[in-house]
Structure 1
């Protein structure tokens, strides 16, 4: 196994909100911020569906240390450019109070087609996620990894859940981004597929029936990337902190590698029906870490903390061999103790009863650990 450690690369895409520092509302300034980014950095920054959103992508990373440095660099680039435009950057799956009908669709051909095809559904997508790519050039093995990893989507979503508010209300969900996102026709857990040929046949059928325009509109929680030799995990909300993003990257790479080893050894696994996976997905979005989660492998439910401990136990051999066990397990335990992003956002609102204070908290957490001076007045610390 050691000889293959270098083959499991990591790439991280994070979507961010653009904030007006006066009103704390979303601001439609992605193009202005992009124009203020150094030309050499622009290749890793993209506009998103809404003009109040912007996305960054790391280069290919071999180690968690590289991934951490890359995420820090990307956030620093965006926050610095935004400050030049008198704007803030915030990492949260939804905004606490800004309304979707006040947002504008970004003027590109791709997004114009999406708005025309999906209408209201596209307009309401004021949501932000985190996508993690794991390198796997062998497409047959990648399909087998997908078949096994789909059983572990619920704990990944529960750990990343970071979108409790919508249009000024507490939704009761840890990840309200999830039910909004799941309205897309090709969203949700991937089906069980026998081979890459079956995967390609399904994609062709969806294109031929005019269900999707191309393979990039397959929005499953795990999919084969249409641009890179990677498996793309898409189930997560964008995380508040850099530590949480790196933790998820480490967990997901270890999960992909563990599933690959099981597939190569032909270890049996449950072919869970999508109905069960969708139910598990919904429960993780609704309750996060604060209730039971569905375990599709054992076909029962158990407290979220126990299912996550079971996931850590599964991944322990790979994480240990990579020298990542201490870092990842410590960060998971810290998150279980302090709560995911949704829990921490709610704590701020309960303390202040101000959605603006939640925005300030998210902005501060997004920049935590970066070499960006808080004294400039660009960020407001939440006093405890």
Structure 2
């Protein structure tokens, strides 16, 4: 829900913005988590955790729109190893203060048993705007995501990158899907969180944009018509960072394991890098009809990795593993250049083997019929260093 990871990319002009290795792009990740009582499994107030982490959460943590949610933010990272270490440190810090407060931390797009009717809102002006303007849509906004920032200094270039990565957003959604349950019931969706966002007028896949000025004009109109309170409340699935010079990917559900968050970051950075390579050599942007982009995103939310997904450029249904392999082939060269190929391709294949979080949750529920067991699994996986490690 936040506007940007405040430390995800450097302030323009800072030496920290220069890559220590030629060709590498900076990364930063925001992760949103649910907080729940360790015994009852009911969602709980994140306030004691924020206090324990330092003031209003300190440098790397902050409150979210619902009191039972909390957000963590990494600093600038140039390698997946550094990013993994920060993600691990932040999760361990959260889990530690939660344990002292008799609570647990859960990384998932929705909380399996939480009822939005019984959860209030964090009293802040920006959140108040959403609550007052959107009524029932805001009432049901009890969801968590994972946002990846990739450093791109030039704003027009960032917009051109956005145009090029849009066809690949659905597979990022399918890989991260972690929200099969809603208000205590199975939804039939792998990412029900995506359907919650799809109803909002300033969310979803962005339009094809001609330039950063075009982007700014569209955002201004959304603000002037009171659709959004500010630029940070234009919640497109990919957008230029609003506080720092990044491309921000917002499509993913909260990633249950650290491995899945690292996979999202690695793929997102590689997609940006590949787009920059294409721009440099004057290659045309892929053409994907708006209706197929919309349908591809819906199908990824509905089925995740179970079944066939839409390749919006090819205009065809393909098995999910084929779509994943097409993405890996598309970003192979930038992954090799960054030294990330083995890790990212290995993580993608691990998710295909063990399935995404949504499928893992469904398997647990099918075995016992108890959502409490699903929550226990999520708690364990949130703390895990590796996917099924």
- Please tell me the TM-score bracket, short chain as reference: over 0.9
The 3 A distance-change label for structure 1 pair 68 and 123 is: same
TM-score, with length taken from structure 2: 0.92
What is the alpha-carbon distance in structure 1 between the residues aligned to residue 82 and residue 230 of structure 2? 32
Matched, 1:186 2:202: yes
1:248 aligns to what? 264
Could you tell me which runs of 5 or more consecutive residues in structure 2 were left unpaired when the two chains were aligned: 1-18
2:86 aligns to what? 70
What is the alpha-carbon distance in structure 2 between the residues aligned to residue 124 and residue 24 of structure 1? 19
Matched, 1:273 2:275: no
1:366 aligns to what? 382
Q: CA deviation at 1:210?
A: 2.1
Post-superposition CA distance 1:161-219 (Å, at most 9, x none): 01101122111100011101111111110100111111111111222222212100111
1:11 aligns to what? 28
The 3 A distance-change label for structure 1 pair 173 and 79 is: same
TM-score, with length taken from structure 1: 0.93
SS at match of 2:191: coil
Q: CA deviation at 1:105?
A: 0.2
Does structure 2 retain, via aligned residues, the 8 Å contact 1:136–1:230? Answer: yes
What is the alpha-carbon distance in structure 2 between the residues aligned to residue 273 and residue 5 of structure 1? 32
Matched, 1:236 2:236: no
Does structure 1 retain, via aligned residues, the 8 Å contact 2:49–2:57? Answer: no
Matched, 1:132 2:121: no
1:220 aligns to what? 236
Does structure 1 retain, via aligned residues, the 8 Å contact 2:56–2:62? Answer: no
What is the alpha-carbon distance in structure 1 between the residues aligned to residue 57 and residue 74 of structure 2? 11
Does structure 2 retain, via aligned residues, the 8 Å contact 1:192–1:271? Answer: no
The 3 A distance-change label for structure 1 pair 305 and 213 is: same
Matched, 1:308 2:329: no
Q: CA deviation at 1:300?
A: 1.3
What is the alpha-carbon distance in structure 2 between the residues aligned to residue 208 and residue 38 of structure 1? 37
Report the number of matched residues.
369
What is the alpha-carbon distance in structure 2 between the residues aligned to residue 48 and residue 40 of structure 1? 11
1:348 aligns to what? 364
1:37 aligns to what? 53
What is the alpha-carbon distance in structure 2 between the residues aligned to residue 20 and residue 3 of structure 1? 44
Does structure 2 retain, via aligned residues, the 8 Å contact 1:168–1:355? Answer: yes
1:321 aligns to what? 337
Post-superposition CA distance 1:61-105 (Å, at most 9, x none): 111011001100111111111111111000011111110011010
Matched, 1:152 2:168: yes
Q: CA deviation at 1:40?
A: 10
Matched, 1:21 2:38: yes
The 3 A distance-change label for structure 1 pair 76 and 241 is: same
What is the alpha-carbon distance in structure 2 between the residues aligned to residue 23 and residue 84 of structure 1? 16
Moved beyond 3 Å, runs of 4+: 1-4, 38-41
1:89 aligns to what? 105
Could you tell me which runs of 5 or more consecutive residues in structure 1 were left unpaired when the two chains were aligned: 371-381
What is the alpha-carbon distance in structure 1 between the residues aligned to residue 166 and residue 207 of structure 2? 9
1:379 aligns to what? none
SS at match of 1:5: coil
Q: CA deviation at 1:2?
A: 11
